[in-house]
Structure 1
Amino acid sequence: MSGLTLYPSVLFRRNAVYLSSIFVGAFAFEMAFDSASNKIFDAINSGRQWKDIRHQYIQKAEEEEE
């Protein structure tokens, strides 16, 4: 039981530590959420994005210039 009471007292002892932990946690959550949502979006739209089909159009443009 003493382990459960130690964590809040360390975290909430000073306002700066409390706010810092909130900001760091929010930043880490944002980075993880953004990367996960981008991976899911790329998996769903694979082959239909510009980064997937760009090479087809670049080769055509180079062939037309020659």
Structure 2
Amino acid sequence: MPTYHYRCKNCGYDFTKVQSFTDDPVTVCPECHEEQVRKVYSAVPIEFKGHGFYRTDGASHSSSK
């Protein structure tokens, strides 16, 4: 199940929660109990593994001129 990062706009409390895709998002802050919680979105890291991702990987250097 995915882990979501939340932040309260009222008090600034940051927290994470493991939720299913079908679960409703958290809207009430567990600290100040206000309905000011929003999901925090961030870039997902991408890792290129294996051959073929770099200019030097598996390139055939034939000089047919």
TM-score normalized by the length of structure 1: 0.32
| Structure whose alpha-carbon radius of gyration is higher | 1
- Relative to its length, the structure with more helix (as a share) is 1
TM-score normalized by the length of structure 2: 0.33
